[in-house]
Chain A
Amino acid sequence: MMELAYPVGLIVVAAAIIIGFTALVREKDDLHRILLTDLAEVIGLVLIALVATDLAEALILPGLVVGISELLAVSEVYIAKEGLREPTGPAFRIEVMDSAPGILALVLVAYGVFLSGFTGGAIAAVGVVFYFMCRGHAEQFELIETVSGYAWAIWIAAFFIFMFLPQYWFFGVMMAGGAILVKVMAKMSLVGTMRRGGPDV
C-alpha cells in the first residue's frame, strides 16, 4: 500500500503542477498571480510531504517559512508597485465577534496548554489571535516580546539539558514543551493585533 502511495502521489502532484503553471501562464492580473504562485508553493511542500519520513517532516517547516517570507516580500512589492493605501472607512461589524471571543479563546487556550509543545502553542495562539482580532488590544507589545524572548531562552536551556545532563531528560522535555508553547503563542498573538491597526502595526 505504502509503495503504491508514493508514485500515485507523484502523478497527482505532476497534474497539479501542470494545472497550476497553465493557470499562471493564462492569468494576467497581478494579484491573482500572487495567489496562484502561493498555491504552486504548496505543491512544492506536498512533494516533500510525500516522502513521509521523520526527516521529510522536519523539512516541511523551513520550506513553509521560506514560502511565506517570499510571499510577504512579493506582496510588499505589489503594494508599493500599485501604490495601495490602508482603507480609511469603518471596520466591518459582526455580532458574533462581540459575544464569542471570551469563551472561545478560553477553550482554545486551555486545550492548547493541555496539549503543550508546538501544536499546543499553535492552538492556544489561534484563541489569542481570535480574541485580539475581535476585542482590540491595548497592552504593551514590549511585554509580549519579552515573554517570548525568555521562553526562547528556556527552550535553548532545555536543549543544553538534553546535551549535558541527559539523565534529567524528562525535566528538559517539560521545559522545552512549556517554553515552545509560550513562544509560539506570543509570536502568533501579534498577528491578531494587525486588523485594528494599533500604533506600531
Chain B
Amino acid sequence: MFNLPNPQIGGPELFVLEFGDIVAYFSPYTAVLFAFALLFTVLVIVSRPERQVDIAFGGDAYYTKEVEPDLLRFQRFMAIACGLATLGAMVTGDVFNFTLFASMIGITNIGIVAAYRNRHVLNAAFQYGIVAMLATVPLFGGAAIVLSSTGTLSMWELFTAAVAVPLIAKAFLVLGVMGEGMAPFYIAKAEITRAQGAPFILMVHVSSLLLFLRVMEIVISM
C-alpha cells in the first residue's frame, strides 16, 4: 500500500505504522537509528549514576561525591524523556511532528544539563536554552514554509519527485535542528561530561547525533 518514493536514500520501507494521515515508517536507515536510540534509552533506565572519587593530592585520602536522590530522579526522568523524543523523531513521517520532537529534545536537554547546582554549568545551560528557544523560529518557520509552498507536511508526499520543496525551507529545517542539537557544545564548554551522574549526559550526545542524521535524510529526500 505504501511505498517510499525514493528508496535509494534510506532503503525500502520495512514497516509502516498508520495513525490516520500521519504515517510513521521504518526504513533500514531509520530502523538502525531507532535501535540505537532504544539501546541508549534502555541503558539510561537500567544504569546507576557514576560516583566520583577525588584523590587528595599528595596523600592517601580521597573524597567521594554523593549524588542526591532528587537530582538523580529528575535527571533520569529527563534522560528517559529525551530518549523517547529521539525515538519519535527517528520514525515520524510528518515534518511538523519531527520539528515538535526536535524541540522536545531541546527542552529535555536543557533539563539534563540544568540539573547541576553549579554556577558555570547553569550558565552554559542558560545560554543553550536561549539558543534552543531561538532555534524554534527557523524550525517551525521551515515547517510552515513547507506547508505553504507544497500544501502538505506528510513526508510520503514531500519525498515524491512531483513535489518541489524550496531550498529556504530545507535550510531553515537544518538551521533549527542545529540550534536544538547544539547541547553537546555547551556540555563541552561546561566540562560536565564526567560530572556527577555521568551516564545521563550521554543521552544529550546520542539525541543530538541521531537528530542530525535524521534531518539529513529528510532534507536529502525532499
Nearest CB on A from B35, distance (A): 27
B136 touches A24 (CB 8 A): no
A106 interface contact, C-beta 8 A? no
Check if A153 is an interface residue, CB within 8 A of chain B: no
Checking A37, A59, A62, A63 against B133 with a beta-carbon cut-off of 8 angstroms, the contacting residue is A37
Interface residues of A in 31-87 (CB under 8 A from B): 33-34, 37-38, 40-41, 43-45, 47-48, 50-51, 53, 55-56, 59, 62-63, 66-67, 69-71, 73-74, 76-78, 80-81
> Among A21, A40, A51, A80, which residue has its beta carbon within 8 angstroms of that of B114?
A80
Tell me, rounded to whole Å, the shortest Cβ–Cβ distance linking A142 to chain B.
Answer: 23
Of chain A, the residue at the smallest CB distance from B149 is A51
A41-B122 contact, Cβ under 8 Å, with A51-B148, A66-B104, A80-B117:
no
Q: How many A-B pairs fall under 8 Å by CB?
A: 98
B136:A70 contact, CB within 8 angstroms = yes
- Of all chain B residues, the one with the shortest Cβ separation from A76 is B114
A6 within 8 A of B: yes
| Interface SS of A by simple majority | helix
* Pairwise interchain contact B122-A17, C-beta atoms closer than 8 A: no
Most A C-beta atoms less than 10 A away, residue of B107, B137, B138: B137
CB-nearest residue of chain A to B125: A77
B111, B117, B134: the one within 8 Å of A73 (CB)? B111
Interface flag for A29 (CB, 8 Å): no
Q: Give the interface size bracket for B toward A.
A: 20 to 34
Most interface-central of B117, B123, B126, B140 (chain A CB within 10 A): B140
With A69-B107, A70-B132 already in contact, the answer to whether A40 and B137 are too (CB < 8 A) is: yes
The distance in angstroms between the C-alpha atoms of A111 and B75, with both chains bound, is: 44
Residue B141 is within 8 A (CB to CB) of chain A in the complex = yes
B residues in contact with A73, CB < 8 Å: 107, 110-111, 114, 129
6 of the cross-chain contacts (CB-CB < 8 Å) are: A37-B133, A37-B134, A51-B147, A51-B148, A67-B133, A70-B136
3 residue pairs, one from A and one from B, having the closest CB atoms: A74-B129, A81-B122, A44-B137
B positions within 8 Å CB-CB of A: 96, 100, 103-104, 106-107, 110-111, 114, 117, 119, 122-123, 125-126, 129-130, 132-134, 136-141, 143-145, 147-148, 153
Q: B-contacting residues of A (Cβ < 8 Å)?
A: 6, 17, 21, 24, 30, 33-34, 37-38, 40-41, 43-45, 47-48, 50-51, 53, 55-56, 59, 62-63, 66-67, 69-71, 73-74, 76-78, 80-81
